Structures are given as structure tokens and as C-alpha cells.
Amino acid sequence: MFSYVCILQSKKDGSTYTGSTTDLKRRIKEHNDAKVKSTRSKHPWKLVYYEAYLLEDSARKREKSIKTHGNIKRQLFDRIFKNLSL
């Protein structure tokens, strides 16, 4: 079973959410059904990026590095949103 790091973008205001999960489809549905308190006010969401990992711990570490290291987040977001605008 894989674990995932995902980046969602709000269709409402363009803001982003970074998280990790073992069930990507279920988690996106939870966000879009307003079942996640922290993202409820900004739904609906679209998946703009994900990475798959064999170990849940690896996905959690990657999620944390994206959230806490500005340079990693900036480079990743530059790559994601540059490709989305093509």
C-alpha cells in the first residue's frame, strides 16, 4: 500500500493545502465534502500534485519538509504552477 503527499488548490480562492494520506481519492473527497475543518471554508479543491511513497513515514517526512522549508516549497510550487499555466 502506498502513502501519498498531495497538494490541493482551492477552486474558490487559489490557496493551497499540503497533506499526506494513505488513500488519496478518499482524502480529496473528504476535503471536497467539507469534512476537514482546516479546509472547509475553501472547498472545492482540485489535486494539482502528488508523490507516492512505499512507507507512510517517508510521506509524512516529505510533507513536513514541504511545509517547513520555504525553499523546497517555493521550488516545488514554481514547478507545479508553471506547468499548470501551459
Global confidence as pTM:
0.90
Query: What CATH number corresponds to the domain at position 57?
Result: 3.40.1440
| Cβ–Cβ < 8 Å for 6, 21 | yes
**Which residues 6+ apart lie within 8 Å of 37 measured at CB?**
none
| Cβ–Cβ < 8 Å for 6, 18 | yes
Task: State how many domains the chain has.
Answer: 1
**Which residues 6+ apart lie within 8 Å of 77 measured at CB?**
7, 16
- Dihedral pair phi/psi, residue 63, rounded to 5°: -55, -45
Q: Domain limits at 20?
A: 3-84
pLDDT tens for 14-59 read 999 999 999 999 999 999 999 999 999 999 999 999 999 999 999 9
Could you give the CA distance from residue 5 to residue 83 in angstroms, rounded to a whole number? 18
